Amino acid sequence: MLVAALAAWGLIPGVAAAQRSVPPGFLGVVADRAAVDGTVPLETQMRLIRGVGAETVGLTFPWLEAQPYRSPDEVPPGEAGRFVAAADGVPTDWSAIDARVAAAARAGLRVHPVVIAAPPWARRNPAAEFSPPADPQRYAAFCAELVRRYGPGGAFWAERPDLPRREIRAWQLWNEPVGGDGDATPSVFWVDDDPFHVRFVPLMRAGHAAIKAVDPGATVALGALVGQSWNTLQLLYDAGVRGTFDAVALHPYTARPENVVRIVRLVRRTMARNGDGALPIQITELGWPAFDAPDVVRLGRRQAARAQEAWLAETFTRLARARRELGLELVLWYTWIGRDRSERDAFDHSGLLRLDGGRLVAKPALGAFTDVARAIARGRIR
């Protein structure tokens, strides 16, 4: 039903005009939550994402999902068939990540992966899901395995000659090591007693080196700064992060579209001051709403949906027009599917689609996304 509705509304674009104002893969969405957890058919969602004009899909590659056990001896006998040995002997189950990458490839989407979430055996604090790795070299080894599987000449593509070859050439290392309330505030994605840079910079250094050793042409993104990101970036430069990334990933969440551009501009200035002015910036999450779920609930579903539609159209248009000045190479909307009912989680309201029971409902922002994607692809926004 949803596919038919999108086609009827003209939301599935035809072939874009040859003249483009942005690089291939510039615009996309993040697919997480219900989009990838089995709630809805994965293959269908990837086709829909491509159908509305997205060229890149953001996906999480959780380390704990692929390597939950340290050694073959720890694998329960009934599960042994799912695992193969990694280069360092760690038993590895690629099935979940394989399914996401395959679905994206069939749909013609590039994948932007975020490598995060150490398994308990590799964490400093085994009880905290987002505790940093105890040994950054272990994290780096997993990154290298990912490149060997999904990068150029990777084993995944050799095993699946039926798939369009969409080799992954860009990798984001971790996600939001700092929270959104300041330049060094705690983050739910980096649970540590020490200042975040103490272990985050070594993690970046090890991961960058491991990925480049397998694919020298890969892009490694510093992942991903939120809140007072320009100040956080300077803290990282002061801690020696320069040379450990090829792009800066940002999550410029803010209520006003003009402030999105302002945040990116401030980050660009920080990069230039530290000798990285030529490196690109990737916005790997951006959406409305991002905060204050109770306020969104009070707005009501209809009014919130219209506000989201207007915010998306204005923000994406501003970013596309400022792309060259800002050095932007990627913009991903967060997220593809929400439920629009949580009173605490604002991101539950940020989907372009709303899951209502077992039914997916297209929100007004989906039409805005498609309109902007079509205009960008045809060079109408410069």
Q: Is 294 exposed, middle or buried (0-12, 13-18, 19+ CB in 10 A)?
A: exposed
Which of residues 341 and 3 earns the better pLDDT score? 341
Spell out the alpha helix ranges (H) of 171-300.
197-214, 229-238, 257-273, 293-299
**Residues in the chain, total:** 382
Task: Tell me how crowded residue 15 is: count the other CB atoms within 10 A of its CB.
Answer: 7
What value does the mean pLDDT take over residues 292-298?
Answer: 92
pLDDT at 13: 47
Q: Minimal CA–CA distance to 178: which of 220, 109, 231?
A: 231
Class of the CATH-defined domain 2-377: alpha beta
* DSSP E strand stretches across 227-374: 247-251, 281-286, 328-333, 337-338, 353-356, 359-362
Q: What is the pLDDT of residues 40-53, one digit of tens each?
A: 999 999 999 999 99
Q: For residue 2, with 0-12 CB atoms within 10 Å meaning exposed, 13-18 middle and 19 or more buried, which class applies?
A: middle
Q: Which residue type sits at 16?
A: A
What's the pLDDT score for residue 65?
A: 98
How far is C-alpha 298 from the chain's CA centre?
A: 29
For 354, phi and psi rounded to 5 degrees? -115, 130
What is the residue-averaged pLDDT of the chain? 94
Cα separation, 46 vs 100, whole angstroms: 9
Which of the residue ranges 18-32, 123-137, 229-243, 273-287 would you say has the lowest mean pLDDT? 18-32
In this predicted structure, the answer to whether residue 183 has a pLDDT above a threshold of 90 is no
Query: 222, 217, 210: which is closest to 247 by C-alpha?
Result: 222
Tell me if 54 sits within 8 A of 13, measured CB to CB.
Answer: no
Tens digit of each residue's pLDDT (9 = 90 or more) over 25-40: 999 999 999 999 999 9
What are the pLDDT digits (tens) for 113-139? 999 999 999 999 999 999 999 999 999
pLDDT in tens, 69-123: 999 999 999 999 999 999 999 999 999 999 999 999 999 999 999 999 999 999 9
Gap between the Cα atoms of 54 and 35, Å rounded: 15
In the chain, where the domains are located = 2-377
